[in-house]
Amino acid sequence: MFLPPRTRLWASLSRSGAPKRFASTKSLKETLQEVIPRKQEQLKKLKAEHSQTVVGDVKVENIIGGMRGIKAMLWEASVLDPNEGIRFHGLSIPDCQKVLPTAPGGKEIIAESMLWLLLTGQVPTEAQTRQLSLELAEKGDLPPFVEKLIDSFPATLHPMTQLGMSVAALNHDSLFQAAYEKGIKKSEYWSHTLEDCINLIARLPALAARIYRNVYKPGTPLPPLNKDLDLIGNYSALLGFGDNHNLTEYLRLYIALHGDHEGGNASAHTAHLVGSTLADPYLSYSAALFALAGPLHGLANQEVLRWQLAMQEELGSDVSHDQIRKYLWKTLNSGQVVPGYGHGVLRNPDPRFLALQQFCDSRPELEQSSIVRLVKKTFEVAPAVLKEHGKTKNPYPNVDATSGCVLYHYGLREFKYYTVIFGVSRALGALTQQVWARALGLPLERPKSLSMDALEKLIK
């Protein structure tokens, strides 16, 4: 429990007699006001000196294969290396776990510290993180009309559909849209966009939790937001798991690690594309959520869990490596893929998977969990089987191989809701990059398309 300081500390007076701020107490917006001019100058130099430099060749397989592998997008917060995995402004996941502030009494990265890093490229202080937590809690209540909208949805409407529709409705309060309609300079776009992004991130826990309660626990009242808690501490409490410290800690880690995974994935790219039209962050992120809802993207963790539970039901809770090997071949020989294995970019085990496994290894209750043990044993067998099978470029696990199974163990067992949690997390990266797209003046995204006849003509 904590109450972030509401007062700001000041350094000694400068020579002019004006007060000077300590860097460690500057707000998120003040920090961005210092960082943005440096990035703008860097982009200006790239345009002036290297606009004609070739950075890759486009092949036919790129065009007909979903543009996979084409270097064609600016995304400042993170870079995904096929071998090393994700880095956030140069920091690996283990680096982040060492330096990013945690919640009071907790050990895991929290959304606020990851949000600060993604936006500024800087590691926030404890004081900055706590102040951001307070700001998010103060802005986290939903407008009454959105509460009524959510409550009007039938419980049979998919939670992700409800989430996307509700986020889009919040555009009623868009500060960017209001300012744009009045007429503002392009240099001011980022500031109003930032306000929308912070407001949206602040409201996501209350929005996502209301959907959960309506669908799975109808009639259960929602507690008020606690201004002494961080964003995910409040989210866990709103879901009804506030007393489950282990689940809350896991949600903190899960959401921080899922916050950004460079810009080429479907949800992040959708947010970028829609945002490039100067649509406000609410509309942009609602579109991203509908991309996330696809079974080839955000639904993957629930498919892993279904597959692991089916294996457990058939083989029992105490299975051998040989039994798992046979079950893997049964899955592959039936024409199915092994869920949770392979990745569009990665060619080694996903560092996010490894971080979640370390979380499991550090908690006795998870070490004893039959489903979590099964995930670990599968990891010990599956890569060799997939290599022998020979049809998978990356035979190693991705983050989905374990993420849903831990939620299941801790009592959050409603499969269809898992992607909503993913949606809460992915906002950290997709929305911060909308701020940067406006700050850098990035243009409307408009790639060139070709028909097969035009492509064949071009080849000849």
Q: Any idea which residue has 């937590």 for tokens?
A: 133
Same domain, 271 and 332: no
Amino acid at 378: T
The region that residue 125 occupies, defined by phi over 0 for left and psi between -120 and 50 for alpha, beta otherwise, is beta
> Quick check: 292 and 429 in contact, CB under 8 A?
no
Same domain, 236 and 323: no
Report the catalytic residues: 297, 343, 400
Cα–Cα dist 24/357, whole Å: 33
Beta bridge partners of 86: 80
The predicted structure's pLDDT at residue 22: 58
**Cα first-last separation, the chain:** 68
Phi, psi of 27 (to 5 degrees): -75, 170
pLDDT in tens, the chain (460 residues): 333 333 333 333 333 444 555 567 799 999 999 999 999 999 999 999 999 999 988 999 999 999 988 999 999 999 999 999 999 999 999 999 999 999 999 999 999 999 999 999 999 999 999 999 999 999 999 999 999 999 999 999 999 999 999 999 999 999 999 999 999 999 999 999 999 999 999 999 999 999 999 999 999 999 999 999 999 999 999 999 999 999 999 999 999 999 999 999 999 999 999 999 999 999 999 999 999 999 888 888 888 899 999 999 999 988 999 999 999 999 999 999 999 998 888 889 999 999 999 999 999 999 999 999 999 999 999 999 999 999 888 899 999 999 999 999 999 999 999 999 999 999 999 999 999 999 999 999 999 999 999 999 999 8
The predicted structure's pLDDT at residue 451: 94
Is 116 inside any structural domain? no
Token pair, residue 276, equals: 């490039």
Structural domain for 217, as ranges: 133-293+414-439
Is 421 inside any structural domain? yes
| CB contact set of 175 (below 8 Å; sequence gap of 6+) | 192, 195, 196, 199
Is 353 inside any structural domain? yes
Alpha carbon 111 to its chain centroid, in Å, reads 10
Residue 435's H or E segment, with its range, is: helix 418-439
Cβ count within 10 A of residue 378: 27
Is 285 inside any structural domain? yes
Is 95 inside any structural domain? no
Same domain, 318 and 332: yes
> Quick check: 343 and 83 in contact, CB under 8 A?
no
Beta bridge partners of 21: 10
The predicted structure's pLDDT at residue 303: 87
Same domain, 204 and 318: no
Same domain, 378 and 327: yes
**How many folded domains does the chain comprise?**
2
Same domain, 280 and 424: yes
Cα–Cα dist 428/119, whole Å: 9
Same domain, 431 and 312: no
DSSP string, 262-309: -S-SHHHHHHHHHHTTT--HHHHHHHHHHHHTSTTTTTHHHHHHHHHH
| CB contact set of 427 (below 8 Å; sequence gap of 6+) | 200, 201, 204, 259, 285
Token pair, residue 207, equals: 């929005």
Same domain, 310 and 272: no
Boundary residue ending a domain (363, 388, 409): 409
Domain containing 187 — which CATH number?
1.10.580.10
Is 456 inside any structural domain? no
The region that residue 68 occupies, defined by phi over 0 for left and psi between -120 and 50 for alpha, beta otherwise, is beta
Cα–Cα dist 305/236, whole Å: 21
Is 326 inside any structural domain? yes
Domain containing 378 — which CATH number?
1.10.230.10
Same domain, 227 and 159: yes
Same domain, 363 and 278: no
**pLDDT tens digits along 144-155:** 999 999 999 999
Q: 401, exposed or middle or buried, with CB in 10 Å at 0-12, 13-18, 19+? A: buried
CA distances from 109 to 117, 236, 237, 429 (A): 11, 15, 18, 15
Same domain, 140 and 277: yes
The predicted structure's pLDDT at residue 16: 42
Same domain, 311 and 283: no
**pLDDT tens digits along 244-293:** 999 999 999 999 999 999 999 999 999 999 999 999 999 999 999 999 99
Cα–Cα dist 4/127, whole Å: 7
- Provide the greatest CA pair distance for the chain: 77
Is 113 inside any structural domain? no
The predicted structure's pLDDT at residue 21: 53
